[in-house]
Structure 1
């Protein structure tokens, strides 16, 4: 079993809010990959959640939660402006 790096680059510190949002999406995707490591199963399930509005909203909530953590780690980019 290969190890998945759950925090790409090993840090939550990013230069901009845009980079933070991208990192949040990446981290959410990695969480799904770790939760369901079988690529065949993930591929089979993708069309199901892609057509289910409630599942899409849940995915958006996961990304928003990840982004909130990243934003807090970056002090909301106060020093980057």
Structure 2
């Protein structure tokens, strides 16, 4: 897992089951919210989903043009 992926996951865990705005993640991980960083965020989220896919109780949900929600369900 890369440093950026770890930073993104840390932010999502800190806001578990709550919407985390894209701009908030971009500002805290990349330092600014420009188009290139936004595309990089999409890629890093995809990598995180692949890493976490082995555990079906964890999911990262996208809210179009808003942000992400990390959900942990009880099985």
Q: Return the TM-score normalized by structure 2.
A: 0.32
Which structure exhibits the higher relative contact order, with contacts defined as CA atoms closer than 8 Å and separated by 6 or more residues?
1
Higher alpha-carbon Rg: 1
Structure with a larger share of its residues in helix = 1
Q: Return the TM-score normalized by structure 1.
A: 0.30
